[in-house]
Structure 1
Amino acid sequence: MAARTGKEYLERLSASRPTVHIQGETVTGGIQDHPAFRNVVQTYAELYDLQHSAEHKDTLTYTSPTSGEPVGTSFLTPRTSDDLVKRRKAYKVWADHSNGMLGRTGDYMNSSLMALASAADWFAQANPAFGENIRRYYEKVREEDLLCTHTLIPPQVNRSVAGTQQAGGKLAARIVKEDDNGVVIRGARMLATIAPFADEMLVFPSTVLRGTPEDKPYSYAFAIPNDTPGLRYVAREPLDYDRPRHDHPLASRFEESDCVVVFDDVHVPYERCFALGDAELCNGFYSQTSSVVHMTHQVVTRTTAKTEYILGLVSLLTEAIGIEQFQHVQEDIAEIIATLEMLRAFLRAAEADAQVNE
C-alpha cells in the first residue's frame, strides 16, 4: 500500500471494531457514523485526501525506500536540513487545514516512530529482537499509512504516590503474565487522544520509573491494534454537540476525543513489544532516541499555524469594530505577533543548526 486516501481511511475504520464507552453508551463499531466522532473523522479523511491533491502531494509524500510507492513525508528519516524543511512544510499543510486546531494528526506519532526506528540499535541493547521489532513496526505503519494514538502515563488518582503504587499497585496497567507468545496487560492508562478513530495504539512507557523490582511489571513499550480483544476506551464528554457548523465552526470539525485506556487482560505478542521489564531503558525512551525532538518539531509547526489563525482572527475582530487604534489593543496584537515570530525563529534555528547524531 501507499499513502492512503480519505476513502481508504474510512473503509479501514468501518471494518474496525474498537470498544468505546462515551456518555453511558458502549460503541463497538461504526465509529465513523457516531455523532461524537463523525465530523472529526471526516476532517481526518480530508487530510488523507490532501496527500493525493495536485497542489500538495509532492509536499506531503516521498518515495518509500522499500516499496517505491509514495508514503507520508512525516515518515521521512531526515539526513539533511533540507529534509527537515520538507518535513516541516508537510506538517504545515495539514496544520493549516485545521488552523492548527488538530493536535494529534498522524504526523505527530509518525515522527515519533521514525525517530524510534532510527534508534533501533538502542532498543537492541536490551534484546536484539526489540530493535528489529521497532524497525519493522515503523515500516508497517509507514507502508499502510496507519493512524496511531498513544498513551504514556498511569491514571492520576493520587499524586502523592508513584503510579506503580496507585490503589495498591492494581490501578495502573502492568504485566500480569508472560507466556511463550507475549505478555498480558491489566489495568488503566491515559490519555489516548483520537483513540476511537485511530488504527493502532502505541503504549509508551512512563519515564519516571525508579528501577526497583516493583517497577518491573510497569516497564514496557508496545503497540497493538485499536480493536484488540480486552482493550477498552472511556471517552470524555464530547465538545462536538452535533450542531450546525455555522454556530460551532471549530468543535464541529476538530474535536479530538481523549480517552482513558482500560486493559482487561490484553495479550500483546512479543513481536509487537519494544521494551519489557527494563526501567532504565524506559526512562530514556524519549531523550535517548530523539523521539521528543521530532515530535516537538511537529508541535511547534502546528502551533505556528494556530498562532497565525489567532492573529488573523484578532485582526479581523479589531478592524470590524474599529478598535485597532487603541494602544492597549495594539499591545495585545503585538504580543501575538511577537509570539508568532518567535515560533518561526525557533523552527528556523532548529532546522539550520541540526546535526546528524548516532
Structure 2
Amino acid sequence: MLKSGKDYLEGLRDGRTVYIGRERVEDVTTHPAFRNTARAFAEFYDLKRDPAQRDALTYEEDGGRHSIYYMKARTKEQLAKRSNAHRVLAEPSFGLLGRSPDYIASFVTGMNLKAELFGQYADNVRSYYKFMRDNDIFAAHAIVSPQASRDPDFFQKKNLPNPACRVIAEEDDGVVISGMKMLATGSALADEIWIGNILPLSPEARAESITFAVPCNAKGVSLWSRKPFASSAQSEFEAPLTWRFDEADAMVMFDNVKVPWERVFVHNDPALSRGLYIETAAHSYGNHHSNVRLMVKMQFLVGLCSRIAQANGAAEVPAVRETLGRLAALESVLEAIVAGQIEACEEWPVKGYVTFNRRMMYAGLNWGVENYSAVIDTLRELCGGGMLQMPADGSVMEDSALGEQFRTYWQTPHMSALDRMKLFRLAWDIVGSELGGRHLQYEKFFPGASFVVRNHNYREAPWKAWQDRVDTILQRMTPPGKQAEAAE
C-alpha cells in the first residue's frame, strides 16, 4: 500500500501524548509547532504516489506496490535506484528533514538482509519489516540512553530509578518498559518509534539491552518536545525554513508500557543490542540515506552562498570566486563519496544481497561532522552585515512612504530591495536563527560524537593490506654491512 498525504495526516490524529513544556498538544496536524512540517511530510507521501514518479520511487513485490526504500537490493542497479529515490524525496525539503520516512525504513530493511542474526526474534524482525512495507509506515527512532543515566551508581545511592529505558517486568504477553530514550527526532509526526541501543552496553546492562517498536500513541508513551521554533515564525516570508521544516526533536518517556513479544527484537543481549546495526546492513542502508540527504542540503547551501555573493556584487571578486570554488569542490567530494558507495558496493552481509560500501558510507558521515559547520561559517562570512541591515519585518512595505524608501535605498545594482530582503531572510534562517543553530548541532552529532564516527571508520579500514605495503619496502631495506652478504 502506498499511503497518501491525506491518509498520513489522518493517522496522526490518534490520541498520541505530546508535551511542549506542560502543554498537552491535542492535534499535531493543527498545532502551530507541528502543522507545517506535518504537511511537508504529507507532500513526501503524495510525491511517491505521483504517476510520473512511479518507477523511480516504488517497486512491486509480493503482489503489491511499495515504497522503493523497502527494496532489498540484489544488484548495483537496485542500489542506484534506492539512492536516487532518497535524493528525489529529499529535494523538496532541501535536505532539512533528516528523519524522513525513508530513514528508519532503510535501517529495518537493511536488518532484514540478515534477519537470522536476531536468533529467536528473527521472525519478529521479518514480520515488522513486512508491516512497515505493507502499511507505508513512518517510523522515528530513539537509540541513545539519556545522558543522566551514564552514572548508575548515583541513582542507586539516592535510591532513585535509573532514567535509562529498561525492562522492569516480563509477562506472558510481553515485556513492561519504563524509562527514557533520546532523541526521537520527528516522533511527534511519525506512526511508530523504534527503540534500541547504538552505544555499547556493559554485560551487566541486560535490562537495558532491549530493542523493540511501539506505536506513537501506545499507552504510557509520551513525547516531550524540545522548544519548537515554528510556533514563533510569523510567516513563511519572515522565516521560510523554520515555517515549513522545523523537524521536532523529543525525548521519549515510557511509563509502564506493555510491549507485546512480537514487537521485541532483542532482549537480554547487550552485545547484539548494539551489534545489530553494524553486523547487518542497517547502518549501510540507513546512513547512505543520511549521506544523500546531506548532499542535497549541501547543494542548497552552496547555491545560497552563490546567490548571496551575487546580491552583494562580489561574485566576480577573485577571492570570492575562490571561496565559491572551494565550496563547489567540497560538495563534489561528498557527491563522489555517495556515488562510490554504489560503484564499490559489497556482496554483504549474506550471499545474494548487495549493500552500499561501508567504508565510504562512514567516510560520508565523517565528512558531514567535519565540514558542515565550516560551510555555514563561510555562508556567514559571505553575508557580512547584510542580514543585520534589513528592516525588522516585511510590514515596512505595508506603509506607502516607508515602503517607497525601502525600495529606493535598500536596492542594489544587482537586486531589488524586496528580493534582497527575501534572500537575507532565507540566509539568516539557516545561519542565525534557532532553527539554524539546531541544524548546526544536528549535523555535528546526529551520527554520534566525532570519536564514534571515526571509530566506525577505523573498524572498517583495511589496515593489514595497507601495512603490508609498508612492510614490503621495509623488507627490501638492507642495513649497511649486510649488503655484501645480500649480494652473495
Amino acid at match of 1:318: A
Match of 1:6 in 2: 5
**8 A contact 1:206–1:219 mirrored in 2:** no
Match of 1:272 in 2: 263
Q: Radius of gyration: which is bigger?
A: 2
Measure, in 2, the Cα distance between the counterparts of 1:165 and 1:42.
Answer: 45
Correspondence list, 1:89-108, <5 A: 89-108=84-103
1:250 is paired with a residue whose SS is helix
Of the three residues 107, 110, 113, the one matched with 1:112 is 107
Correspondence list, 1:323-334, <5 A: 323-334=314-325
**8 A contact 2:198–2:277 mirrored in 1:** no
Match of 1:191 in 2: 183
Match of 2:219 in 1: 229
Match of 2:127 in 1: 136
Measure, in 2, the Cα distance between the counterparts of 1:277 and 1:158.
Answer: 18
Match of 1:23 in 2: 21
Match of 1:167 in 2: 155
**8 A contact 1:13–1:31 mirrored in 2:** yes
**8 A contact 1:207–1:285 mirrored in 2:** no
Amino acid at match of 1:254: F
Residues 1:95 and 1:261: Cα distance change in structure 2 (over 3 Å): same
- C-alpha displacement of 1:165: 5.0
Match of 1:62 in 2: 59
Match of 2:83 in 1: 88
Residues 1:165 and 1:345: Cα distance change in structure 2 (over 3 Å): farther
Measure, in 1, the Cα distance between the counterparts of 2:297 and 2:233.
Answer: 24
The unaligned stretches of length 5 or more in structure 1 are none
1:75 matches 2:65: no
Measure, in 1, the Cα distance between the counterparts of 2:103 and 2:322.
Answer: 33
- Structure-1-length-normalised TM-score: 0.93
Higher strand share: 1
Which structure is richer in relative contact order (CA contacts within 8 A, separation 6 or more)?
A: 1
- Structure-2-length-normalised TM-score: 0.69
Deviation string 1:259-288 (CA, Å, 9 cap, x unpaired) is 011100001010000000011211312110
Amino acid at match of 2:56: T
Measure, in 2, the Cα distance between the counterparts of 1:158 and 1:135.
Answer: 32
RMSD of aligned C-alpha atoms?
A: 1.4
**Percent of aligned pairs with the same amino acid:** 33
Deviation string 1:79-130 (CA, Å, 9 cap, x unpaired) is 1110111001110111111111110101111100101122210002xx2xx1
2:19 is paired with a residue whose SS is strand
**8 A contact 1:205–1:285 mirrored in 2:** no
Q: Which moved more, 1:319-328 or 1:175-184?
A: 319-328
1:157 is paired with a residue whose SS is helix
Measure, in 1, the Cα distance between the counterparts of 2:181 and 2:303.
Answer: 38
**8 A contact 1:307–1:336 mirrored in 2:** no
Measure, in 2, the Cα distance between the counterparts of 1:333 and 1:242.
Answer: 30
Q: Which moved more, 1:344-353 or 1:39-48?
A: 344-353
Amino acid at match of 1:115: G
**8 A contact 1:35–1:242 mirrored in 2:** no
Measure, in 2, the Cα distance between the counterparts of 1:256 and 1:57.
Answer: 27
Report runs of 4+ in structure 1 exceeding 4 Å deviation.
none
Correspondence list, 1:217-256, <5 A: 217-240=207-230, 241-256=232-247
Match of 1:314 in 2: 305
Measure, in 2, the Cα distance between the counterparts of 1:58 and 1:251.
Answer: 32
Of the three residues 201, 205, 217, the one matched with 1:209 is 201
Measure, in 1, the Cα distance between the counterparts of 2:334 and 2:153.
Answer: 39
Residues 1:32 and 1:58: Cα distance change in structure 2 (over 3 Å): same
- C-alpha displacement of 1:30: 1.7
Q: Which moved more, 1:253-262 or 1:348-357?
A: 348-357
Measure, in 1, the Cα distance between the counterparts of 2:84 and 2:115.
Answer: 27
Amino acid at match of 2:155: A
- C-alpha displacement of 1:332: 2.4
